[in-house]
Amino acid sequence: MPLTTQHLNIDGKRYVLLPEADYESLCGRAGEAIALDESDLPPLPKPDKNGQFPALEYTRVALARDIIRDRKAARLTQTKLAELAGIRQETLSRIESGKHKAAIKTIEKIDRVLRTKLRKRKGK
């Protein structure tokens, strides 16, 4: 989708003026790009000497990484996601660290909120 822009010069600096809908679209795309930044994600565990990954640790970290990516794509903070899911922010933080086990019920609450938010964002 081509953006509609105008250029302005103010005090010798060039600025771009664009419609709010285009700005919101760019912000959404930027949020998705930020969500893919590996430095924001807990590291995946290293394989052992036989090339095998520790299954439980790998699963916890993979889940944490998925939640972080989806939360950022939905443009939610940990605090807001926790509030919408009806859990404590500290609980979500522990889950996103990839070091703590979460109850299935808790993951289902988080997933329900993220699916709803992402569906609404895509429907925009």
Higher pLDDT, 21 or 13: 13
Arithmetic mean of pLDDT, 74-92: 96
The mean pLDDT value of the chain amounts to 87
Q: Would you state the pLDDT for residue 35?
A: 47
What is the Cα Rg of the chain in Å? 19
Arithmetic mean of pLDDT, 3-31: 78
Q: How far apart are the first and last CA of the chain?
A: 14
* Cα distance between residue 58 and residue 112, in whole Å: 23
* Cα distance between residue 71 and residue 77, in whole Å: 7
Question: Quick one: which of 124, 111, 116, 105 has its CA closest to 27?
Answer: 124
pLDDT at 105 over 80: yes
pLDDT at 37 over 70: no
The whole model's pTM is what?
0.70
Arithmetic mean of pLDDT, 29-40: 64
Q: Would you state the pLDDT for residue 111?
A: 97
Arithmetic mean of pLDDT, 10-27: 80
